[in-house]
Amino acid sequence: MAEDEKSVEVKTSADSETSKTEKSDKKSAKPRRLARFSRKSRGDASPLTLAERRKNLYLALVAVAVGVLVFIGIFGVLIYKYKSDSPMVYAVARVVPYPIMKVGNGFVTYREYLFEVASVKHYYENQPGQDGKTTIDFKTADGKEKLKEVKSKVIDQLKNDEVARQLIAKNKITVSQKDINDQIKQITDSAGGADKVKDVLAKYYGWTLDDLKLKVKFQLAKQKLQEKIGSDETLNAQYKAKAKDVLDKVKAGGDFGDLAKQYSEDSSAANGGDLGFLPKGQTVPEFETAMFALQPGQVSDLVKTKYGYHIIKVIEKKDDTVHVAHILIKTPDFDQYLAGQVAKTKITTYLHN
């Protein structure tokens, strides 16, 4: 009986050991199963799944691109077909540079066009007429006709401005921030202060101070371009040659008054070029310096000013004045020069009234 009990005890012990072993195996098996599960989870990085991800990303990008193109296309229709100037169209045009005109190698955008049209409209709408109403009501039939005229003039202006910008770039003309600040200061001082300037800009043009600075920068660049064009001997060669021919006639003994009537392009030509007595500060510096340097009866060499080439004769001097006559051979002014450059530029317009 004791042996049987021992046998039972031994078996029970053995069973217990076996049970422990099985439990141990089960415990060790669990992490192996987790490891297998983990590896299976990491199987997401398989080539097939990556390909699917790339495909999904590609499809998403295509969808976005199509959406953008549709968006741009819708507003393109509003611009090119309906010429919409709604606030939403203007907001989009500030971001998307819809071209309305190709000028040479440059483009004019719808945003620039809307800005200029809005500026002119704003000005007229805030200018009171004699009856106290706005100068132009663009909602009336007459106002709509006037608006067509405004838009046509804006197109011409933008065309000229783009040609001018290309000439400015070609001639490597720059405007410093100091130049801009100095000009803004002059405007501010003459207007009565910065607040006054801001009020006038907002009320009459719908501009900000930054808008004014951009305008000032462009105008200063145009002035520098004008000065450079005016001093270009190559461009002015034919006019200088004509003036030299007239000067030779004067020096050969020709009557100054008669030659002035025949050749001078100034309004004084009918009077033989006689300008009367001129004090200091009455003429451009180059002309003034030359006439005060001459003695009565003397004739100058060619004197170049922004108006062209002058031949100056001093008739009499009295106190601080000089009785003077001149012959003027004009060189093209900047507007004429620019118009000639525009005429030679290939221009394609996408927006038609």
Convert the pLDDT of each residue in 146-169 to its tens digit. Answer: 999 999 999 999 999 999 999 999
Confidence at residue 32, expressed as pLDDT on a 0 to 100 scale: 47
The amino acid occupying position 41 is S
Q: How far apart are CA 344 and CA 269, in angstroms?
A: 33
User: Can you tell me the mean pLDDT for 130-141?
Assistant: 82
pLDDT digits (tens, 9 = 90+) for 67-87: 666 666 776 666 777 678 888
Flag whether pLDDT at 300 surpasses 50.
yes
Name the percent of the chain lying above pLDDT 90. 64
Confidence at residue 69, expressed as pLDDT on a 0 to 100 scale: 67
Flag whether pLDDT at 346 surpasses 50.
yes
Q: What is the DSSP string of 61-115?
A: HHHHHHHHHHHHHHHHHHHHTT----HHHHHHHTTS--EEEEETTEEEEHHHHHH
Band the pLDDT of 328: cuts 50, 70, 90. very high
Flag whether pLDDT at 315 surpasses 50.
yes
